[in-house]
Amino acid sequence: MAGKKWSEETKESARLKKYGRKELLESEYLKIASAYEDANYFRKIHNKIHTYLRQRNLLDVVFPNRKRYKPKGYWVPDTIREEAKKYRTKTEFTIKSQVAFNHSLKYEGLLDDIFPKKESVNYTFEECVELVKPYKSRMELSRNNMKLYLYVKNNKWLEKLIPDMRFHRKSKYTLESVAELAKNYNFISDFVREQPGPYDYAHRNGLIPVLFPERKRKWTDEKIIGELKKYESRRMVAKDNQSLYNTAQRKGLLEQVFPKHLSIKWSEQRILEELSKYESRRDLYKQNPSLYQIARVGNYLDKLLPNDRKIKWTDEKIVEELKKYDSRKKVYQNNFNLYQIAMKSGHLNIIHPKIKSNNNIKDKRKNFTFRP
């Protein structure tokens, strides 16, 4: 007879009988828990095992550095006062110890006793001089006494009491060293970009006119005009190269390349002459929108370029207009209104019939023969 195969349940029951259930469970559970670094994450994955170890005080064995919470009933006025002594202000206490702060709200007047409201300060300049002496810098004053810092700042005494050391400290740059560096650059923009420290020193000490008496500019008049001629209009220059546009406008070179059109006096004869150059309202609107607006306001459009929708389309008129185009596609592209009217009346299929394709797939399948 073949040997009897033991199931997993049978093996487990045999192990329990041999080693004892409690010892086996604890050793296996501790082994499972040791695979996790965070106790909270372990609780989410293995809630029952976490409860088993917590009830037997074994969590500290696996997670010695886990965060411990205060027991129930711990936060009473005395413990809240001890916790609040770690913080300077009520705001800091609220942010860094929110649990203690929430329990303090249960006791009326406790927060006011711990952090009493301070009366508004009103110091003279001489008193501020004495109060500011212990602090060496503005940052130290703001960190340790923000109320005094804001009071001094609002009264514009800060510069007199604690001058900004950024502008009074000894700089590693001198006039000679900055001048030597500036000789390597033809343009101030390059000097600013590649040497920000020396440029800041020169700018604060008023040395820029000495270092660059005649500013060499990248944009000469000839170069600006040459660049402007690459564009079709002012709008294109402003859109693609704002720096060039601003420089050209400041120098007055924009008017030379793109002069502003003087206002034209549009007489009736001039308007009609210009309108006669266009075949349709659409072409006029696309090519000369300003003329289109003038003609529309003056009611000149209906004289030379009547609206297609207001035309009485007779059969003769439709045929006459369709013959001006070579194909259906040209009618569709150039006069969509005519295309729709001709489609409804049936004249389109008569003048420009659809071209049937000779490459019919079904015909190809019928005529197909297999060639080995």
Please give the average pLDDT of every successive group of 10 residues along the chain, which has 372 residues: 56 54 71 84 85 84 76 88 88 86 89 80 85 86 85 86 63 82 80 84 81 66 85 81 83 80 65 78 77 78 62 79 85 82 83 67 48 45
Predicted model pTM: 0.27
Q: Is residue 2 part of a domain?
A: no
Tokens of 104: 């303090």
**Do 246 and 278 have their domain in common?**
no
Range of the domain at 194: 175-211
**What is the rounded distance in angstroms from the CA atom of residue 63 to the CA atom of residue 34?**
8
Q: Is residue 320 part of a domain?
A: yes
Q: How many CA atoms lie within 13 A of 217 on its CB side?
A: 10
Q: Is residue 350 part of a domain?
A: yes
**Do 265 and 253 have their domain in common?**
no
Q: Is residue 51 part of a domain?
A: yes
**Do 316 and 357 have their domain in common?**
yes
Structure confidence at residue 349 (pLDDT): 84
State the DSSP code for 309: G
Q: Is residue 163 part of a domain?
A: yes
**What is the rounded distance in angstroms from the CA atom of residue 268 to the CA atom of residue 299?**
10
Structure confidence at residue 217 (pLDDT): 54
Q: Are 210 and 186 in contact (CB under 8 A)?
A: no
Structure confidence at residue 359 (pLDDT): 52
Query: Long-range contacts made by residues 88-97, C-beta under 8 angstroms, separation at least 24?
Result: 89/115, 90/114, 90/115
The tally of domains found in the chain comes to 7
**Do 357 and 319 have their domain in common?**
yes
Q: Is residue 50 part of a domain?
A: yes
Q: Is residue 85 part of a domain?
A: yes
**Do 201 and 226 have their domain in common?**
no
CA 198 from centre of chain: 33
Q: Are 199 and 192 in contact (CB under 8 A)?
A: yes
CA distances in angstroms from 16 to 12, 26, 27, 30, 57, listed in the order given: 6, 12, 12, 17, 23
Q: Is residue 7 part of a domain?
A: no
Burial of 319 (0-12, 13-18, 19+ CB in 10 A): middle
State the DSSP code for 60: H
**Which residue stretches of 145-266 are H helix?**
146-154, 158-161, 175-182, 188-194, 196-204, 208-211, 221-228, 234-240, 242-251, 254-257
**What is the rounded distance in angstroms from the CA atom of residue 295 to the CA atom of residue 314?**
27
Q: Which of 61, 66, 32 is nearest to 49 (CA)?
A: 32
**What is the rounded distance in angstroms from the CA atom of residue 323 to the CA atom of residue 346?**
14
Structure confidence at residue 41 (pLDDT): 85
Place of tokens 């060039």: 244
